[in-house]
């Protein structure tokens, strides 16, 4: 399996690459090649990462290829883990960040379209990940649209942890936790359908106020809380959640459970506008693919919150219309300060 990774010299990759090489993600019988994309600036660091991988003597790691040209690095890739993106700089408008990172994903989408394996799967981690995935997808017309994912598994893991702690249970008893929408502060961690030890979460945590006014913002702004403590974005827990995301596609989803991933809304059963990359509950047969789960209960609370996240993603989409081959509306940016990454709260 050929796995391309961008931002390969960064903090997230520094955790992730060793998990991939050890076989704990794709299995102990799956040899892998790592194709690592860096930048001119990170070339030396990338060589350092490769040296550490070599020195670890992983029996499944058969090749490490380094480069700064996506057209070379993405060649024949079966997976592209698109982690690299520019952080928002001081005084930078939200629309500028969308544009700056959007240009990276426009180039990478085109490169994947040209040289990746025809069934390549993509996971976008670099923020704003939903809209970056949309840009990549729209610029890769020959690759399956449903193969594009944006990472919301970190949000799911955060939600499970909060529910488990509040209920006084171990996190393994918390299941069926979906994240809806954007990986931003409008994301909707779904406590309505979540289960704790097999019961609906609100039947176990009988505290509606906590669920609505504490749990939801705590999960949605966890990235920012962590930046305040740590001085930088989450790296280890992001890498763990990427590994969880990938494993979810290669291990059959247990009955009555789900995993969250932001994927194309085309044909979704919840009435969410088509053509957006939106986090929804999914299941897998373990063959690398997924299907949307279609029977989640959407009460008024969820409906309203999901609609707000949908609205935000529509604004983001319109703001990057100049990077899409077929923009839905005239490219007009209506983005205001109200659209925030988890780290920007």
- Catalytically annotated residues: 183
Residue 84 as a binder of ligand LMR (CB under 6 A): the answer is no
Contacts (Cβ under 8 Å, ≥6 apart) of 85? 7, 101, 104, 125, 126, 127, 132
Name the minimum Å distance from CB 223 to ligand LMR.
3
**Contact between 133 and 104 (Cβ < 8 Å):** no
> Measured from the CB atom, is 150 or 204 closer to ligand LMR?
150
d(CA 138, CA 326) in angstroms, rounded, equals 8
Name the minimum Å distance from CB 14 to ligand LMR.
16
Task: Among 6, 132, 157, 233, indicate the residue that binds ligand LMR (CB under 6 A).
Answer: 233
DSSP state of 321: G
Residue 341 as a binder of ligand LMR (CB under 6 A): the answer is yes
Task: Among 157, 182, 221, 234, indicate the residue that binds ligand LMR (CB under 6 A).
Answer: 234
Site string for ligand LMR, 310-329 (x = CB under 6 A): --------------------
Strands 79-82 and 2-6: parallel
d(CA 132, CA 6) in angstroms, rounded, equals 13
- Identify which of 243, 248, 254 has the alpha carbon closest to the alpha carbon of residue 286: 248
- Selected range binding ligand LMR among 5-13, 110-118, 302-310, 337-345, rule: CB under 6 A: 337-345
d(CA 130, CA 118) in angstroms, rounded, equals 22
Residue 342 as a binder of ligand LMR (CB under 6 A): the answer is yes
Name the minimum Å distance from CB 246 to ligand LMR.
18
3 state SS of 338: coil
> Measured from the CB atom, is 108 or 234 closer to ligand LMR?
234
Site string for ligand LMR, 132-161 (x = CB under 6 A): ----------------------x-------
Residues numbered 117 to 136 that lie near ligand LMR (CB under 6 A) are: 127
Site size toward ligand LMR, by CB under 6 A: 10
**Contact between 184 and 341 (Cβ < 8 Å):** yes
Contacts (Cβ under 8 Å, ≥6 apart) of 236? 15
d(CA 248, CA 176) in angstroms, rounded, equals 13
Residue 309 as a binder of ligand LMR (CB under 6 A): the answer is no
Name the minimum Å distance from CB 170 to ligand LMR.
23
Residue with smallest beta-carbon separation from ligand LMR: 343
Name the minimum Å distance from CB 127 to ligand LMR.
5
3 state SS of 85: coil
Residues numbered 205 to 224 that lie near ligand LMR (CB under 6 A) are: 223
Residue 343 as a binder of ligand LMR (CB under 6 A): the answer is yes
> Measured from the CB atom, is 6 or 127 closer to ligand LMR?
127
> Measured from the CB atom, is 103 or 345 closer to ligand LMR?
345
Burial 300-335, CB ≥16 within 10 A → b, else e: ebbeebbeebbbbbbbbbbbbbebbeeeeeeeebeb
- Identify which of 272, 258, 282 has the alpha carbon closest to the alpha carbon of residue 307: 272
Name the minimum Å distance from CB 211 to ligand LMR.
21
Name the minimum Å distance from CB 98 to ligand LMR.
13
Q: 61: alpha, beta or left, given left = phi > 0 and alpha = psi -120 to 50?
A: beta
Q: Where do contacts with ligand LMR occur on this chain (CB under 6 A)?
A: 127, 154, 223, 226, 233-234, 341-344
């Amino acid at each position: 399996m050929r796995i391309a990774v961008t931002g390969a010299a960064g903090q997230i990759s520094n955790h992730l690459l060793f998990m991939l090489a050890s076989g704990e993600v794709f299995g102990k019988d799956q040899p892998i090649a790592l194709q690592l994309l860096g930048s001119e600036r990170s070339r030396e660091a990338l060589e350092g990462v490769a040296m550490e991988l070599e020195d670890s003597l992983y029996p499944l790691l058969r090749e490490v290829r380094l480069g700064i040209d996506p057209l070379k690095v993405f060649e024949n890739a079966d997976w592209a883990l698109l982690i690299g993106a520019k952080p928002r700089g001081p005084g930078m408008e939200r629309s500028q960040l969308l544009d700056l990172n959007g240009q990276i994903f426009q180039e990478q989408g085109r490169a994947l379209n040209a040289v990746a394996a025809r069934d390549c799967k993509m996971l976008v981690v670099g923020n704003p990940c939903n809209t970056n995935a949309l840009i990549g997808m729209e610029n890769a017309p020959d690759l399956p649209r449903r193969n594009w994912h944006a990472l919301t598994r970190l949000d799911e893991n955060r939600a499970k942890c909060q529910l488990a702690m509040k209920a006084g249970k171990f996190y393994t008893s918390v299941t069926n936790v979906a994240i809806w929408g954007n990986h931003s502060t409008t994301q909707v961690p779904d406590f309505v359908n979540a289960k704790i030890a097999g019961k609906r979460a609100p039947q176990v945590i009988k505290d509606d106020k906590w669920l609505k006014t504490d749990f939801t913002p705590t999960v949605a702004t966890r990235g920012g809380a962590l930046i305040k403590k740590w001085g930088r974005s989450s790296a280890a827990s992001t890498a763990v959640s990427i590994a969880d995301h990938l494993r979810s596609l290669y291990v059959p989803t247990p009955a009555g459970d789900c995993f969250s991933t932001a994927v194309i809304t085309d044909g979704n059963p919840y009435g969410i506008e088509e053509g957006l990359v939106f986090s929804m509950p999914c299941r897998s047969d373990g063959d690398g693919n997924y299907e949307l789960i279609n029977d989640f209960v959407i009460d008024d609370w969820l409906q309203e919150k999901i609609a707000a996240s949908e609205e935000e993603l529509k604004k983001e989409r319109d703001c990057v219309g100049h990077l899409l081959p077929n923009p839905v509306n005239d490219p007009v940016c209506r983005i205001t300060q109200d659209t925030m990454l988890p780290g920007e709260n």
